[in-house]
Each structure stands twice: as C-alpha cells, then as structure tokens.
Amino acid sequence: MKDWYEEWFGEEYLALYPHRDDEEAREVAALIAGRIDVPAGAPALDLGCGSGRHQRALAERWWTVGLDLSHLLLHVARGEDRNAALVRADMRQLPFAGGSFSLVTNLFTSFGYFRDDAQHTRVVAEVARVTRKGGWLVLDYLNAPHVRESLISFDRHKQGSRVIEQTRQISIDGRFIRKTITVCDEDREFIERVRLFEPEELRAMLERGGFDVVEILGAYDGRPRDDDSPRAILIGARR
C-alpha cells in the first residue's frame, strides 16, 4: 500500500491548490540570505521542492538543485524554468556525494510525512551527509503550539467548479495532524498526515544529526518564535 504522499502530490493537488505565492518564496529566500553566510553562487539544495517556487527564488542567489518525489510537480517546475537543476529522488536516500552543498533548505512543511520518527531521523542524517562542514540547514516547519490553538476542524469552499470540504484533527496521542480533503461533487477523498513535532523536538533531532541550531524564527518576517507564531523556522550550522 502506498503512503499518502506518494499519491497526493499529483494532478488533484495542483487542481485544488493552484496558486502558490512566488513573492512569498522570494521573501523566504531573502530571510535566509540575511541569516546565513553563504557566498553567492554556492551550491544549494531545496529538499522537497515541489513545483519549484522556492528553488527558483533561491537560484537567484545560489546555484540551487531542487529535489522532489513527485513526477508531476517536477514537470511543472521544469515548465516554469527549462534550465532548472531538478532531481527526482527520495529524501531518505539522497543521490549526492558527501559535502556537496553549502546550504540545504526544507521549506513550507515538506518534512514529517513518514510513519515513524526513525525515517525522519534518516532524512536528517542524509542532509547532514551532503552538507559541507560549516554549511547551513534551514528547516521551515509548522509551529505545533500555534496549530493546536488555532486548528480549524472543518471548512467548505468552492475551487473553480468543485466543492471542497476539509476536516482536520490531531491524533489522540498528539503526535500527528491529519487533514481529509473531500471533493464533494466527484466523491473523491485525499489524506494529508504530518508529524506534529514540537520545536524543541526538531531542535533535538537536528542537533543529534550534526547541526548546531543557532536560532528558531517564527515567521517569514524574521520575528523570534513563540507559541503564537505561525511557523517554526530552524536555522542550523553543520558541525
């Protein structure tokens, strides 16, 4: 049986979420550039690049490879930039030599998809392997306390001609957030399931993996993280 992320990021995903903000992607790239010391043109990896909006913004500053598992999203990224460096692979087994990159980014909650934390730890180990000593990791994740406080359990809206219902719930053990997306007129249903890591859990995972977390930001404007922040953006230096 396939995991949800192997089936979801295809045509249906693009149809239901057609708009992603390129200006926001440039804001994230500017935030990263202001927080780390990586020379212009240095090699970077956008891990879980999807349709490439962050890869393109990062590539304005650094030579950036985008990696994703979805054939379709990479096809869309290729359509946006014919010259983009794009690779299809699983982030648990990166097809790069050790120390290949000065910067690795994982943005817009493109992490936490796997069934157990051993696999998430494996991703961090792979990222550490391909990051040069003194290089950087930027992990942009949801902020668990804010999610718990602000969770909208149900909404219904129109997307073009489709009527979409979304239900959200946190697992009984508090470890996962699950979203069920129903396309009402077409009687189709999709699942998103993401690990609800606390910021300190993420810090501990990165530090065990070989990174020193130098700060945790709470939004793309660079504010410090607190429980009300929309994001948990961890910036780590490779030991």
Q: Give the residue extent of every domain in the chain.
A: 4-142+196-238, 146-192
Using the predicted structure, report yes or no on whether residue 180 has a pLDDT greater than 90. yes
Return the pLDDT at 18: 63
Q: CA 31 to CA 43: how far, in whole Å? A: 18
Return the pLDDT at 3: 87
* Residue whose entry in the numeric block shows the structure tokens 């609800």: 196
For 220-235, what is each residue's pLDDT tens digit? 999 999 999 999 999 9
Look up residue 2 and give its amino acid. Answer: K
State the alpha helices, DSSP H only, in 11-69: 11-16, 22-35, 53-59
For 69-121, what is each residue's pLDDT tens digit? 999 999 999 999 999 999 999 999 999 999 999 999 999 999 999 999 999 99
Return the pLDDT at 233: 98
Angle between helices 117-130 and 199-209 (to 10 degrees): 50
Average pLDDT over residues 124-146: 98
Cβ atoms within 10 A of the Cβ of 11, count? 8
Rg over alpha carbons for the chain, rounded to the nearest Å, is 17
Average pLDDT over residues 146-169: 92
Q: CA 206 to CA 203: how far, in whole Å? A: 5
Annotate 189-221 with b (16+ C-beta within 10 A) or e (fewer): ebebbbbbbebeebbebbeebbbebeebbbbbe
Q: What sign does the dihedral 78-83-89-91 (CA atoms) show?
A: negative
pTM assigned to the model = 0.95
Q: CA 32 to CA 15: how far, in whole Å? A: 30
Superfamily classification of domain 4-142+196-238: Vaccinia Virus protein VP39 (3.40.50.150)
* Residue whose entry in the numeric block shows the structure tokens 């065990």: 208
Report the range of poorest mean pLDDT among 13-17, 20-24, 89-93, 191-195.
Answer: 13-17
The DSSP secondary-structure symbol of 122 reads: H
Return the pLDDT at 45: 99
The answer to whether 103 and 40 are in contact (CB under 8 A) is no
